[in-house]
Amino acid sequence: MDWFGLGKKRSKLGKWLDRHGVAQIEVEKATKLSRGTISRLCNDDENVPTMKNANKIIKFLRKLDPDVDYDDFWSM
């Protein structure tokens, strides 16, 4: 599913945010990661965050869904 019909590719993380109504800006603010970093992670499944950045993202997402795990978005 592409969000708002824009035809943009979305990563697993991007699709999860879309389904849960979470804006990328919310993730940026909560994790203090750059807009570019969040954008790359939401649009490209080949882009894998550092463990430090992944932990920041997962910590934020678990406030919304306690069952979220690293493996839901990125493979080791």
Q: CA-CA distances (angstroms) from residue 28 to 1, 5, 9, 66, 68?
A: 23, 23, 20, 19, 18
User: Domain 3-66: which topology?
Assistant: 434 Repressor (Amino-terminal Domain) (1.10.260)
Model confidence at 2: pLDDT above 50: no
pLDDT at position 16 is 96
The string of pLDDT tens digits covering residues 14-66 is 999 999 999 999 999 999 999 999 999 999 889 999 999 999 999 999 999 99
Q: What is the pTM of this model?
A: 0.86
pLDDT at position 62 is 97
Exposure pattern of 44-66 as b/e (b: 16+ CB <10 Å)?
Answer: ebeebbeeebbebbbebbeeeee
pLDDT band at 75; cut points 50, 70, 90: confident
